[in-house]
Structure 1
């Protein structure tokens, strides 16, 4: 399981004395713990790996936005720190689909659902997320869906 590999990475980083990596792994584990606490009262729990991937995707998106803002603000040392954290986060994320594979999956879902125009975009995005949510950046994918339906 993905959660177990993250915990073992924490132990490895501790033993190696790799402080930046250890800090990033601890951030991941803290976010996972927060999500677990948030879902305690939930009736239906998602698959654990899907939960972990969702948390990792959100963390990666936050890091990318922070890097852009820090670089625009002239704070390169903070941008470098975020890049280090992003690299550790991306190590645990599953392999992302290529743009061509994403377009092919979108075309298949459009054909399967019979989507005709922009009014069906929500239906296509929902089906895409259900089928390939852990392998896609949904922000980029929704742009591709919009282009395919236009």
Structure 2
């Protein structure tokens, strides 16, 4: 298939998924250096109200300023004024507190509706809660997709929070 044909096929697949009420569209700034976000943005443009857009910030962008800038870039590529769920893709060298501060800023600004962390172990979240002396508003329950049941540390995390 030629690239234009491939792009049309991908767009049709996304449209069909929306037709079938499959509304979660998950991408990241990493895929194709943002090209996946652009394609998804064009595919859902006329039906944005039907799509639940999820995208992720890369760890090397996860500083306070870097997260905000990466989100703005993702919003432009997606052609949307907000992201339904914005995730830290995996932990990096940026302090988690900076990333979460950026998420909270973006949420207050209406740029993201919800935020979450991905590929982050429970111990790191527990450390953040203890170090920051704050409570996280847990809207999405941590889970381990590799297991049928969450390990006991997830229960402990929910008790800490």
Please, what TM-score do these two structures have when normalized by structure 1?
Answer: 0.29
Structure 1 or 2: larger strand share? 2
Structure 1 or 2: larger helix share? 1
Q: Greater RCO between the two (CA within 8 Å, min separation 6)?
A: 1
Decide which structure has the larger Cα Rg and report it. Answer: 1
